[in-house]
Amino acid sequence: MRSRMSDRTGAAIRKLRLARGWSLAVLSDQSGVPISTLSRVELGQNALNYDKLVRLCRALEVDLEGLVTREAETSVAASGRRSVTRAGEGPGARAGGNTGRRSASDLLSKGLSPLLLDVTARTLEAHGPLAVHEGEAYAFVVAGEVEFHSHLYAPLPLTVGDSVYFDAGAGYALLAPDLPARVLLIASGETAFGP
What does the pLDDT read at residue 75?
46
What whole-number distance in Å separates Cα of residue 16 and Cα of residue 62?
A: 9
Per the structure, how many domains does the chain have?
Answer: 2
- Domain hosting 50: range is 4-74
Average pLDDT in the 59-87 region? 64
Domain membership flag for residue 194: no
Does the residue 79 lie in any domain?
A: no
* Residue 72: band (very low, low, confident or very high) from pLDDT cuts 50, 70, 90: very low
Domain-located, residue 166:
yes
> Given a cut of 80, is residue 175 above it in pLDDT?
yes
CATH of residue 173: 2.60.120.10
Residue range 21-55, pLDDT digits in tens: 888 899 999 999 999 899 888 888 888 888 888 89
Kindly state whether residue 82 falls inside one of the protein's structural domains. Answer: no
Question: Quick check: 61 pLDDT over 50?
Answer: yes
The share of the chain scoring above pLDDT 90, in percent, equals: 27
Domain boundary among 74, 101, 122: 74
Last residue of a domain, one of 14, 39, 74: 74
60 in Cβ contact with 70 (< 8 Å): no
Side chain identity, residue 35 = I
